[in-house]
Chains A and B, each alone.
Chain A
Amino acid sequence: MNLKKNNYRYDFPIIANWINPNSKVLDLGCGDGGLLNYLSQERSITGYGIEKNPDNWLKSLKAGINVLQVDLEAGLSEFEDDSFDVVILSKTIQSVHNTEEILNEMLRVGKQVIVTFPNFGYWRNRIQLIQGVMPRSKELPYSWFNTPNVHLCTIRDFDDLCKLNKYKIVDRLVLTDKKSVSLFPNMLGALALYNLVNR
C-alpha cells in the first residue's frame, strides 16, 4: 500500500530507526494501521496490531493489518513471553488505566519496547495551566471533559517510573515540531520517544 503524505507521521522514521529489519512487531493501539504499514515498507516487519475502536479496527483491516480487537487493560494473555521482537505503545499510554501492568506485560511479550507520549511538561502546556485552563495542543487535542486521556505524564515522571520499575532505557528522543530537543527536554519537548529492553 502506498502511504499518502498526509497519513505519514513524523515520529514514524524515528521508531523505524530503532527497529531491526524483519522484526516481528506488536503495535498496541494501532489506530488505522499507519505505523505498522510504514514499518512493513521500511523495515519489512511482520506483526499484529491491537485496536478496540471499531472504526479504526476496520481501517486497519482495509490497510491489510493483522488487527485484533483485544482489551489492553486485560493484559496480553494471548501472547507468549518473548514472542515479539518489538512491542510498541505509540501515543496511547496516556489513555490506559493500568499503566504499570501494561508496561510490564509489554516487556514480558517483547524483547524491545517502544513507548511514545505527549510530554505534559512541555512549556506550552505549562503556560496554559498557568493561565488557568487545561492544556490543548496538536498532541493533546481534547477538551478536559471529552478526553480519553487519564494518565498524562511528563518526561521526568516517565523517567521516575522507569527507575522505580528498573526498566532499561536504551534510547530516548524528545521532539518538538519534528526537531530533536536536547536542552531542557522536559520543558522544551512536545513528544517523547523511549526505547526500552527487557533484559
Chain B
Amino acid sequence: MIVKSKKFKSICPLKLSCGKVLDEYELTYETYGKLNKNKNNAVLVCHALSGNHHLAGRYSSADKYPGWWDNLIGPNKTLDTNKFFVIGINNLGGSDGSSGPKSINKKTNKPWGSKFPIATVEDWVNSHEALITSLNISKLSAVVGGSLGGMQAIQWAIKFPEKIKHAIVIAAAPNLTAQNIAFNEVARQSIITDPDFNKGNYYKKNKQPRRGLRIARMLGHITYLSDDVMDTKFGRKLKNKDYKYDFSTDFEIESYLNYQGDKFAKEFDANTYIRMTKALDYYDPASGSKISLSKIFKKIKSKFLVISFTSDWRFSPDRSKEIVKALLDNNIDVKYAEITAASGHDAFLMTEPRYHAILKSYFNKMLGNS
C-alpha cells in the first residue's frame, strides 16, 4: 500500500489548556481506504508517545519500513481498509509535519523551539475534531488508540459524545500513576540537562540533544517490556565470549538498548518527546480524586472496547479496569479483555492472535450495526 501525507490548515484560533491560543496551526495526516457514501465508516487511530500520522503502508516501494501499525491496518488486515476509512493524525507539538517546536512560527519566521506551547490530550482531541469536521465526517465510527492514544479515545468519548460511536481503548489508563510520572521525569531530565538541548532552541545550531534523547528512549524501552520477555530474549547473553572488563557493551541487552537509543535519537525530536510525556502526565479527566471518573463518564454515548495485557506494568490491567468500572457505573456498553501476553506494554503493537481476533470481530460487528 503506497500512501501519501496530507495537510490540514486551520485558521480558527485554538485555545489550549495552558491558556495560550494558537491563531493558526497545521496538522499532517494520512487516510487509508475510502469514505463511504453515508460517511459512517471512518475510524480515527490516535498515536502514542513516539508515533505519528503514518499508521500503515509505505511512501514508496523503496521504503524500508511501513507505518507503525501496519500489522493491524491495511487491505484485508484486522482493521480492513477495504471496509473502513482510516485516519491518522500527527498530534500538535509533534515533529512530523504538524505544528510543533520544529515548525516555523510565522510571527518570527524562526522555528518555534521552546516557545511552542505544551499541548494536552484535550487540545489534541479538539484539533482532531476540527480536522474530522473538515472531511465532512459528522460521526466517527470509532476512535482507536493504545497507551497515550487510548487516552485520546477516552477524551473523544467525553468531549464529543455525539461524534463517536465506538471507543477502542488499549493498554491505557484514566491517568498516570506517580511511578509513571516519575519515569517520564527522568526521561525529560536526561533531555533537558543535555548541554546540546540549549533550553529547547537547538534547531539553528544543527546540534541535537541526542545523548539525552537516547537515554530517555533507553529508559522508556525498559519499561515498555516485561522482565520475562527481556529474560527470554536476552537473558545474560554476551556479545562476545567473555567479559571485556571495560565499559563498552558486554551484554546483548546493552547492545540492544544502545541500538534502539541511537536509532530513535536520530529520528525523533527531543522537544516533541518532552512535550508528549507532559501530555501523558497531565491527562486526568477526573482531575485526581476531586470528581469521580464515573461522573465524568455520565455524558458518554459511545460504546467501549477496553483491552489490557497481563504483563503490562506501565499501564496495568488494573488501570484498564478503572475505566471499565466507571463505564459500568453509567450502564455504558463495554467489552473488556485481558490478553495473556509476555511483551509488556509493547504488546499492543504486536500481533498476538487473540488480541487481533478480538479487534477483528469487534470491527466486523461495528460494520454490521452501522
Contact = CB atoms under 8 A, between A and B. Distances in A.
Interface of A: 24, 46, 48, 54, 57-58, 61-62, 64-70, 78-80, 83
B336 A58 contact: no
9 contacts: A57-B337, A58-B354, A61-B335, A62-B361, A66-B333, A66-B335, A69-B337, A78-B328, A83-B329
Contact of A78 (B324, B361, B362, B365): B324
B361 A48 contact: no
A148 B188 CA distance: 50
A24 B331 CA distance: 9
Nearest to A57: B337
Contacts of B354: 54, 58
Contacts of A65: 335
Contacts of B365: 61-62, 64
B337 A79 contact: no
Contacts of B336: 67-70
Contacts of B358: 58, 61
Interface string B311-347: 0000000000100110011010111111000000000
A199 B77 CA distance: 52
A61 B338 contact: no
B361 A69 contact: no
A102 to B, nearest CB: 18
Q: Which of A67, A68, A70, A80 has its CB near the most chain B CB atoms (within 10 A)?
A: A68
Given A66-B333, A68-B334, A69-B336, A58 B328 contact: no
A64 B368 CA distance: 11
Q: Which of A67, A69, A79 has its CB near the most chain B CB atoms (within 10 A)?
A: A69
Contacts of B338: 69
Contact of B324 (A58, A64, A68): A68
Given A58-B357, A61-B362, A78 B321 contact: yes
Contact of A61 (B321, B328, B331, B361): B361
Contacts of B361: 58, 61-62
Interface residues of B, number: 18
Nearest to B368: A64
B344 to A, nearest CB: 19
Contact of A80 (B324, B329, B334): B329
Contacts of B335: 61, 65-68
Contacts of A67: 335-336
B352 to A, nearest CB: 11
Contacts of B328: 48, 78-79, 83
Contacts of A79: 328
B260 to A, nearest CB: 32
Contacts of A57: 337
Nearest to B304: A66
A107 B149 CA distance: 38
B326 to A, nearest CB: 10
A68 B307 CA distance: 10
Contacts of A70: 321, 336
Q: Which of B325, B334, B337, B354 has its CB near the most chain A CB atoms (within 10 A)?
A: B337
Contacts of A69: 336-338
Given A69-B337, A70-B336, A78-B321, 6 more contacts: A57-B337, A64-B365, A68-B324, A68-B335, A80-B329, A83-B328
A121 B337 CA distance: 37
Contacts of A83: 328-329
Interface in B28-54: none
B170 to A, nearest CB: 14
A69 B357 CA distance: 15
A46 B324 contact: no
Q: Which of B321, B328, B333, B334 has its CB near the most chain A CB atoms (within 10 A)?
A: B328
B347 to A, nearest CB: 15
B10 to A, nearest CB: 38
Nearest to A78: B325
Contacts of A54: 337, 354
A48 B338 CA distance: 16
Nearest to A64: B365
A46 B361 CA distance: 21
A100 to B, nearest CB: 24
Give the top 4 A-B pairs by smallest Cβ distance, nearest first. Answer: A68-B336, A78-B325, A69-B338, A69-B337
Contacts of A48: 328, 334
B327 to A, nearest CB: 9
A80 B327 CA distance: 12
A188 B56 CA distance: 63
Contacts of B362: 61
A36 B336 CA distance: 17
Nearest to A71: B338
A114 to B, nearest CB: 20
Interface in B78-126: none
A130 B208 CA distance: 82
A76 B193 CA distance: 47
A67 B304 CA distance: 11
A64 B335 CA distance: 10
